[in-house]
Amino acid sequence: MLTILHDISFTLAPQESAAIVGASGSGKSTLLSLLAGLDVPSAGSVHIGGVDLFALDEDERAAVRARHLGFVFQSFQLLANRTALENVMLPLELAGARDARTQAREMLERVGLGQRLQHYPRLLSGGEQQRVGLARAFVMRPQVLLADEPTGSLDFATGEKIMQLMLDLNREAGTTLVMVTHDRSLAARCHRQLHIEAGHLLPA
């Protein structure tokens, strides 16, 4: 059996931001998937708000993710047949929010896309698509936001804007932010850096 991660243990406080850094293949994305409860470990636990994710079945983990977690993907993961507004409305609608349209519009305005509400993803730039992804993740006011290389497919200037926006929203929403990144300068802007090497968490 291949062991990818070894005896990793850490605690993050509410509103804290942490960057997971390390070489390709070191286990960063696997760690992020475990934190989200998307992968199941052979041993160990992940606690979010006092709940052990792996004491739950898959349906129960999905419910915890819906209530408490947001995810920002490097590849945006927007629905091509829905407008920017509809993409951001979707998680609110799934949660039964009555004012989904209003909340989604306000969040898109917050990320500077108030004039792009009815645009489909194919009509948006990479930076604009990532901002829609951020709005979709933050509109649920998650306890924890997980981001996998959120600026990896963007040019430097756009990536800087996205990173600053993410940190601003992190502070305003009181969300704990956990981000995988290869960019050490972006990582340095987080409260903590978690260095992963060959599946081990290096001492701070």
Give per-residue pLDDT as tens, 65-94. Answer: 888 898 888 888 999 999 999 999 999 998
Within a domain: residue 134? yes
> Would you say residue 186 has pLDDT above 90?
no
Mean pLDDT over residues 161-183, rounded?
A: 87
The one-letter amino acid at 84: A
Within a domain: residue 189? yes
Domain of 27, in residue numbers = 17-201
* Strand blocks (E) in the chain: 17-21, 47-48, 51-52, 69-72, 144-148, 176-180, 192-197, 200-201
For the chain, the average pLDDT equals 90
Query: What is d(CA 154, CA 145) in angstroms, rounded to the nearest whole number?
Result: 20
Q: Cβ distance 51 to 143 under 8 Å? A: no
Within a domain: residue 4? no
Query: What is d(CA 124, CA 84) in angstroms, rounded to the nearest whole number?
Result: 9
> Would you say residue 165 has pLDDT above 80?
yes
Query: What is d(CA 47, CA 112) in angstroms, rounded to the nearest whole number?
Result: 34
Within a domain: residue 133? yes
Within a domain: residue 197? yes
Mean pLDDT over residues 27-39, rounded?
A: 90
Within a domain: residue 107? yes
Nearest CA among 121, 14, 144 for reference residue 66: 144
CATH classification at residue 72: 3.40.50.300
Q: 8: pLDDT confidence band, cut at 50, 70 and 90?
A: very high
The one-letter amino acid at 67: R
What pTM value is reported for the model?
0.87
Within a domain: residue 6? no
Model pLDDT, residue 1? 59
Within a domain: residue 1? no
Strand partners, 48: 51
Q: Is residue 106 helix, strand or coil?
A: helix
Total domains, the chain? 1
Nearest CA among 103, 101, 162, 167 for reference residue 128: 162
